[in-house]
Amino acid sequence: MLNYIKAELWKALRHRIFWGTTIFLVLCTALFGFLMHSADYVELVGGVSVTMLTGMLVVPLLVQVVDGGRGETMKNEISFGLSRGGIYGGKLLSGLLLGLGLCTVLMIGLLGICFPLLPHDDPEAEAVALGILGFCLLAAVPVWCGMFALCHAMAMLFPGAAV
């Protein structure tokens, strides 16, 4: 199963849609950080906390990356001897790992780059804001994973990319 997940991640990292989505999200994150240039670090972290659920908008693109051309690859995988449950689970886990990795890169990038650039008034308020951000992130990740599982199930059940 780990070899299959590794193969799916390798295939997804060579997909143009993934890199286009990543570049677009990095540019949006940079724009968000640039728009917060007049704020302090606490306001930036508060702004990031409010926008957590917008990660659900990225889910259909990640599902397209993982399940994109499934017609030909499903035939190859089934003829190789993999079970349908193993294929479904492997694609699900690789897509979740891909999405969580992308989230980690964006969050660490934004907060890490803006930390030395923005003024710091109250270290205690920053700690509270980062705690709230962690709580919001812990609340948003199950929603993202559930949305990915739903979209992935729809993509596996129905043929065509319109789903």
- pLDDT-derived band at 97 (thresholds 50, 70, 90) equals very high
Give pLDDT tens digits for 18-56: 899 899 999 999 998 888 888 888 888 888 888 888 888
Residue with tokens 């989230």: 103
Which pLDDT score is estimated for 114?
86
Q: Range with the lowest mean pLDDT among 99-108, 114-123, 153-162?
A: 153-162
Global pTM exceeds 0.75: yes
Q: Give the C-alpha separation, 161 to 17, whole Å.
A: 13
Q: How far apart are CA 34 and CA 36, in angstroms?
A: 5
Per-residue pLDDT band for 117 (boundaries 50, 70, 90) equals: confident
| 97 to 14, 50, 103, 117, 144: CA distances (angstroms) | 15, 23, 10, 30, 12
pLDDT at 125 over 80: yes
Which parts of the chain fold into alpha helices (H)? 2-13, 16-35, 41-50, 59-67, 70-80, 84-117, 123-157
Residue 7: per-residue pLDDT: 87
